[in-house]
Amino acid sequence: MSTVAITFADELRSRSDEELANIFRLRPDLVTPVPNDFSALAARATSTPSLVRALDSLNLWQYQIIEAACALPEPFKKSELVAVTSEQTNFALDQLWQMGLLYKEGNNYRTPTNLKLLIGDEPAGLGPFSVKKIDLDTLKKVPQASQEVLEKLIWGPPRGQIANIKKPGNAIGWLLENNVLVALDSHTVALPREIAIKLRGGKIHKEIFSNPSKLSGKEIEQKQIDSAAVANISTILRWCEEFLHNLSDETPTALRTGGIGVRDLKRIAEHLGVDESCAGFIAELCYLGGLVVIDSDDQILPTSAFDLWLSKPAEERWYSLVILWLDTSRVSGLIGKLGDRSIAPLGPELDRAGASLIRRTALKVLSENRQVSPDFKSIQEIIKWWNPKRANSDFVEWFLREAEWLGITGQGGISTFGINLLSGAEDLGIEFALPKPVDHILIQADNSAVAPGPLLPELAAEMGTIADIESRGGATVYRFSESSIRRGLDHGKTGDQIKSFLIKTSKTPMPQPLEYLISDVAKRHGKLRVGSAHTYIRCEDEGLVQQILHDKKCEHLRFRKIAPQVLVTDFELLEVIGELREYGYLPAAENASGVLLSQPNLRRSKSRPKPPRIISEFSAPQDAVVIAAVKSIRTGERSRKVEPIIPGTSSNETLALINQYIAEGKTLMISYADNNGGVSNRIIDPISISLGTLTAKDEASDEIVQFRIPRINGVAPALTILENKADLDL
């Protein structure tokens, strides 16, 4: 005769080692840390956080079965659950039991209380159970007017509002009198669960979705997909590089709450030639890779890891960013306005649990439907089937857009590079597919230059300093201007050095207008110098000093002339330089000795990279970990059962007994006090004693542990303890 389990912990004790191993494989969060015994395992498995993770891992079919189980009175038979769902439930029920979302009571099943709370009081739109006896034959006599009321409540919501329960009207009144409806309060009536299931034809759901729908979309050749994807890969690497160089050139200050401000993000987006959502994504991608950090002085700067990243092959650079994107819990699509507040890139508000799960599900669907550019609604429905609790339509849209930016997909279909990434291939095929870097530019007559392909990193960095990117594509167009040349001079270049670089790099001759522009800006650059007095200006050109002093645009800076060719102000040096440049002057900074200062060519953060934390999804544990966990729980259970029986021993007796048992090679049971004064029983294999410390193998953790002799309250052979316990139980 089978023994009926009284609690979930009892039912877990009756499971085999393989069945216990399965619950750890299906719910990896239960193994970290390993529970002490079955009571602890049951408590954790039925805790709300663990159940939330378990529900998140269910597909729509499994979730519908759990909903149905929570809707039935308990305990229920397998046949009862199959009757209100479908015959196919037999195939899913065993896995749900192995996960611990259902547990057995003899031949019946129960669901954990916390699971019912998570599913809600109205599973599948069903109301409460009736407290009165119901005659289902009454449903054959329902008047037409009352039938219309029932039609609105059958599939949920099961509640309806009325003005006054004492004057419900004829239609609702008949239903209340015959217990077809129940009154919840003076203004609310509800359809009892038993009647709703009967009116639904004995089923709980209108339709059981045992399989996902088929993906629909436009068929597209793999060659076309890969061609678009490799262009996206080249572009995203260039965007990241340009973004980080721009941070070095024009370093923004982080918001008080952390992250890049709205104005700085807009400026960066304009520099890259993308919209702000894309600029925010690029910032987040570099943040994930540890290429950018918010420094201790709130400056947002590239890290030294950026220079190492630049030296790596393109495929390695791409992989290092994309693999982090797959697993991150940060959702860059949230950047911008969310309600009445603004969410900033690099800020602390972008984490969302389940983000990685949706990304991987979306890519899994695309991998199973290659050479298809999917309709958004179709792929959204399939992802919703796989992750009914997590699949947010906005998230799906954002992640598909980001996969396209990254080159995992091309024109909507998954690329060969994306397939290789997901399969863990060593060679992703990117190096072969990418166009080879070029080492030259073509200067045009209109003060622009064309790079006929991706430039070598050192050339791209140099061009980014002295020119602005005007357009991108297969070729990049750079534009030279007064401000871009001045930027190069600020970075320590001279006019002659800029000319030499362009003559050496360009395969076309330098036009005379560009040469004149460089000479003119270089001649004026540094003629006006700004230093700290609090801030002072000195200039050998007395006329220029007078011009600034009487310029109405500069009045708010409150300049004072303290000597011929010298002005001072109370404003900060960087602010004065910025304002004067805005008004058409070209000042340069100098130090206390009057030496002209140039900005460092490479500004890097002194702080170490601080990649954001990840709200991780638990991955399936290795078999060795699972086996050790099962053994630990079994051992912990044995220890718990024999707690009261270990005899107390003095320190001398403890030493003598342990030395004896070491010589005999016996397994011991000890009563051990921890740092907090708590006492627990441990089953150990003693190894040696040295300096008042016992070194032994702990059977529960299978690790070598050290025990302080003064904290051992009692010791005895484990076999003797277990035999004594068995005699007492009998």
Q: What is the mean pLDDT of residues 695-719?
A: 80
Q: Which helix (H) or strand (E) holds 323?
A: helix 314-327
**Spatial separation of the C-alpha atoms in residues 612 and 330, rounded to whole Å:** 8
pTM over 0.85: no
475-515, pLDDT tens digit by residue? 788 899 988 888 888 877 888 889 999 999 999 999 998 98
Q: Is 242 helix (H, G, I), strand (E, B) or coil?
A: helix
507-521, pLDDT tens digit by residue? 999 999 898 899 998
Q: What is the mean pLDDT of residues 428-434?
A: 88
Confidence at 400, pLDDT banded by 50, 70, 90: very high
Instruction: Specify the pLDDT at position 504.
Output: 92
Query: With contact defined as beta carbons under 8 Å apart, do 646 and 669 qualify?
Result: yes
Q: For the stretch 498-508, what's the b/e string if a residue is b when 16 or more beta carbons lie within 10 angstroms of its beta carbon?
A: bbebbeebbee
**Spatial separation of the C-alpha atoms in residues 380 and 215, rounded to whole Å:** 9
288-317, pLDDT tens digit by residue? 999 999 888 888 999 888 888 988 999 999
pLDDT reading at 385 higher than 90? yes
Query: With contact defined as beta carbons under 8 Å apart, do 724 and 646 qualify?
Result: no
Q: What is the mean pLDDT of residues 259-268?
A: 91
Q: What is the mean pLDDT of residues 349-367?
A: 91
359-375, pLDDT tens digit by residue? 999 999 999 999 999 99
* 642-729: in CATH 2.30.30.100: yes
3-state secondary structure 42-85: HHHHCCHHHHHHHHHCCCHHHHHHHHHHHHCCCCEEHHHHHHHC
Instruction: Specify the pLDDT at position 598.
Output: 61
Confidence at 474, pLDDT banded by 50, 70, 90: low
Tokens of 32: 């970290």
> What percentage of the chain exceeds 90 in pLDDT?
29
Instruction: Specify the pLDDT at position 79.
Output: 92
Instruction: Specify the pLDDT at position 257.
Output: 83
**Lowest mean pLDDT across 169-178, 423-432, 453-462, 715-724:** 715-724
Greater confidence (68 vs 714) lies with 68
Instruction: Specify the pLDDT at position 539.
Output: 87
223-237, pLDDT tens digit by residue? 999 999 998 998 899
Q: Could you give the count of Cα atoms lying within 13 Å of 328 in the half-sphere of its Cβ?
A: 23
3-state secondary structure 349-399: CCECCCHHHHHHHHHHHHHCCCCEEECHHHHHHHHHHHCCCCCCHHHHHHH
Neighbour count for residue 44 (Cβ, 10 Å): 18
**Spatial separation of the C-alpha atoms in residues 633 and 15, rounded to whole Å:** 12
pLDDT reading at 3 higher than 50? no
> What percentage of the chain exceeds 70 in pLDDT?
90
Instruction: Specify the pLDDT at position 33.
Output: 79
Confidence at 719, pLDDT banded by 50, 70, 90: low
pLDDT reading at 286 higher than 50? yes
Instruction: Specify the pLDDT at position 99.
Output: 92
Taking each helix axis as running N to C, give the angle between helix 89-98 and helix 60-71, from 0 to 180 degrees, rounded to the nearest 10.
80
Q: What is the mean pLDDT of residues 262-269?
A: 92
**Nearest one of 94, 98, 68 to 81, comparing CA atoms:** 68
pLDDT reading at 724 higher than 60? no
**Residue 240, C-beta contacts closer than 8 angstroms, at least 6 positions apart:** 282, 285, 286, 291, 321
Confidence at 689, pLDDT banded by 50, 70, 90: confident
**Nearest one of 483, 445, 428 to 317, comparing CA atoms:** 428
**Spatial separation of the C-alpha atoms in residues 135 and 344, rounded to whole Å:** 60
The mean of the pLDDT values for the chain is 85
Confidence at 614, pLDDT banded by 50, 70, 90: low
Q: What are phi and psi of 2, to 5 degrees?
A: -70, 145
Instruction: Specify the pLDDT at position 588.
Output: 83
Boundaries of every domain in the chain: 8-125, 136-199, 217-431, 442-523, 527-589, 642-729
Q: What is the mean pLDDT of residues 668-688?
A: 77
197-228, pLDDT tens digit by residue? 988 999 999 999 989 999 999 999 999 999 99
3-state secondary structure 262-304: HHHHHHHHHHHCCCHHHHHHHHHHHHHCCCEEECCCCEEEECH
pLDDT reading at 632 higher than 90? no
Cα dihedral value 204, 207, 212, 213, nearest 10: -160
pLDDT reading at 284 higher than 90? yes
